Amino acid sequence: MTQAPEATTAPPLRAAAGQPYAYARRELVEPDWTRLPGWRGVTREQWESAQWQRAHCVKNAKQLRAVMGDLLDERFYEDLARDQAERATMSMLLPPQMLNTMVPAGAADWTEAFLADPVRRYMLPVLSDRRTDWPSHPHASRDSLHEHDMWVVEGLTHRYPTKVLAEMLPTCPQYCGHCTRMDLVGTSTPQVDKLRLSLKPVDRADAMIDYLRRTPGVRDVVVSGGDVANMPWRQLESFLMRLLDVESVRDVRLATKALMGLPQHWLQDSVVEGLERVARTAHRRGVNLAIHTHVNHVNSVTPLVARAARTALEVGVRDVRNQGVLMEGVNATPEDLLDLCFALQGEANVLPYYFYLCDMIPNSEHWRVSVAHAQHLQHAVMGYLPGYATPRIVCDVPFVGKRWVHQVEEYDRERGISYWTKNYRTGIEADDVEALTRRYAFYDPIHTLPEQGQRWWREHTPTAG
Ligand code: SF4
């Protein structure tokens, strides 16, 4: 006869007690859009329609006022107008889905809550967010990763030996203030006259496929933009099918922040059916088809985002992964990163894959963090998530590519200069005998440096102070 186990006192919660981060499962929520005056009468059916979302994107202050009513004071709109005139490198474009994840219900002072909101801080920047001492690093530049220098045909960057990036189009359903492709993506702002692609989309796609057929050493294609959600589906599907026909292509990754910013797009019947056809073909040919998205804060992970990610997995996409960007005031604490990763991994089936340091583009110093802080964050997030879902924090070093932040070769912390090496030539270094022995520099934000370091930069930067 088996005996009932003796009643035991529950062991103390050693696992959770006293940990620097306390995990607790949290249900995803779609914030109630009817809390915003302009959307009081919007039905669920409208909200879940991609057409309704696209038609009601917020592109200027007038449209923002129409949604927010009198919730925000004039000081917010003045701050926004000055930023757009004096600093913004991206124009405003916010699908309702994204705007709705800013400021949850119940804020006592909406303007204060909106100014402090982590999603607002990178999607709708205002002048008071930016630094006045060093708004830009002296080494900041448009196209800071030199992607255009490495175009082998228009829009196709060949930076790594076996991988290429295909920039299919220069638009997205949403524009992020910190966009690394600010040189090309979006409409021009008073600060940035955007580069224009010259080939017709169909000719650009043909030239890319032709290059891949001629270059069998390339096995991995990131199909990006902009955001592929802005390509008419038939054009995208036709390109993907042609790509899957190239024998040497073994990995295809679709880059789309819209999976989070406009999940309604990826839930449309026509898109889901098309994605299933592509996934089936990829599977038959043994190609790994994945979606890479870009989520920076846990508040953006809502039930609709989870539904879009799971739908892609259900129709045969092998994996949905997140590539976030580390930004001060948005997510640059261990708690913010872990909250986001647990929501992605545990509630939406999105793999927390990478967090990048924000690139050295103009007017981005208030977002950027130092390599030392990124190393601290990497250390702080280890051991909480499954190993395969623990994000790697990476620095995209100009002329090098992604390096894990602990791979730094040498680091002058006083001046905030880190030095990196690489083990391959980029597409423009075939004849460069020093490419594999040279050290390549990356720069910390100057305001994070000790006083001697800041003084050194003031003395060595002609335009400083
Ligand atoms: S979605 Fe990506 S490409 Fe588009 S603006 Fe944002 S960061 Fe840039």
- Is residue 93 lining ligand 1, measured as CB closer than 6 Å? no
Average pLDDT score over residue span 21-46: 97
Of residues 144 and 76, which shows the higher confidence score?
Answer: 76
CA of 180 to the centre of ligand 1 (A): 8
Q: From the alpha carbon of 171, which atom of ligand 1 is closest?
A: 4
Q: What is the mean pLDDT of the chain?
A: 94
- Between 8 and 96, residue with greater pLDDT: 96
Q: Determine phi and psi for 358, rounding to 5 degrees.
A: -65, 135
Q: Is the pLDDT of residue 10 over 60?
A: no
Residue 2 in this model has a pLDDT that exceeds 60: no
How many A from CA of 205 to the centre of ligand 1?
A: 20
- Which residue has a Cα nearest atom 6 of ligand 1? 176
CATH superfamily of the domain spanning 148-391: Aldolase class I (3.20.20.70)
Q: Whose C-alpha lies nearest to ligand 1, atom 3? A: 226
Is pLDDT above 80 for 428?
Answer: yes
pLDDT band at 15 (very low <50, low <70, confident <90, very high): low
Handedness of CA 66, 68, 72, 77 (dihedral sign): negative
pLDDT at residue 4 in the model: 42
Q: Is 94 in the pocket of ligand 1 (CB under 6 A)?
A: no
Residue 393: beta bridge partners? 355
Q: Rounded to an integer, what distance in angstroms lies between the CA atom of residue 139 and that of residue 398?
A: 11
The pLDDT value given to residue 429: 85
Is the C-beta atom of 344 inside 6 A of ligand 1?
no
Q: How confident is the model at residue 7 (pLDDT cuts 50, 70, 90)?
A: very low
280 or 15, which is more confident? Answer: 280
Q: Is 227 in the pocket of ligand 1 (CB under 6 A)?
A: yes
- Is the alpha carbon torsion for 174, 176, 381, 28 positive or negative? negative
- Give the per-residue pLDDT at 464: 60
Is 261's C-beta closer than 6 angstroms to any atom of ligand 1?
A: no
- Residue-wise pLDDT for 340-394, tens only, equals 999 999 999 999 999 999 999 999 999 999 999 999 999 999 999 999 999 999 9
In this prediction, residues 257-284 reach a mean pLDDT of 98
Q: Which two tokens stand for residue 27?
A: 């249900």
Domain boundaries, the chain: 33-129, 148-391
The string of pLDDT tens digits covering residues 117-172 is 999 999 999 999 999 999 999 999 988 888 888 999 999 999 999 999 999 999 99
CB 292 within 8 A of CB 321: yes
194 in contact with ligand 1, CB cutoff 6 A: no
Residue 226 Cβ inside 6 Å of ligand 1? The answer reads: yes
At 6 the pLDDT is 45
Site to probe by mutation for ligand 1, drawn from 185, 359, 367 as the one with most ligand atoms within 8 Å of Cβ, is 185
Q: Is 172 in the pocket of ligand 1 (CB under 6 A)?
A: yes
Query: How much is the average pLDDT of 327-337?
Result: 98
Residue 225 CA to ligand 1 centre (angstroms): 8
